Amino acid sequence: VTNPHSDTAGATGEVTSDEIDAAAENAAREQKLARLQQLFRRNLQQEQQASPPEQQPLFDCLVRYRLDQS
């Protein structure tokens, strides 16, 4: 890990600590989203197959809530 304030960081192709933080944050978001999709797996399948549109807004709201916590 290089010093992100260094003039050579990034330019040399080395990974900066900001990039590592962003990647970790992204991985955490992906993990939260995957867990929610797993919890709603049956509801979301039914959503695609049939009419009730109720599951999606609750799912979307929980996704926004979880991702806002990141």
Partner 1 sequence: MMPLTLPQIIAAIRDLPALPAVVLELMRGLDNEQADTNHLAGKIAQDQALSAKVLRLANSSFYGMQNRVGTIQQAITILGFNSVRALVTASAVIDLYKPGKQGALDFRGFWRHAIATALCAKALAKKRSIGAIRSINQDHAFITGLLHDIGKLVIVTYSERHYEAAMAYRTEHDCYGFEAEQAVLGLDHAAVGRAILEHWKFPVLILDAVEHHHFWGEEEIGGLTAVINLADCIAHGLDLSSDSVDLVPPLLASGWRKLNIQEADLMDVFQETEHQFEEACAILMAND
Tokens encoding 14: 């080395």
Nearest-approach distance from CB 54 to partner 1, in angstroms? 4
Using rule CB under 8 A, residue 55 touches partner 1: yes
How remote is the C-alpha of 59 from its chain's centroid? 14
Q: Are residues 64 and 49 in contact, defined by beta-carbon separation less than 8 angstroms?
A: no
Q: Which of residues 17-36 bind partner 1 (CB under 8 A)?
A: 35-36
Nearest-approach distance from CB 27 to partner 1, in angstroms? 18
Decide whether 21 or 60 has the Cβ nearer to partner 1.
60
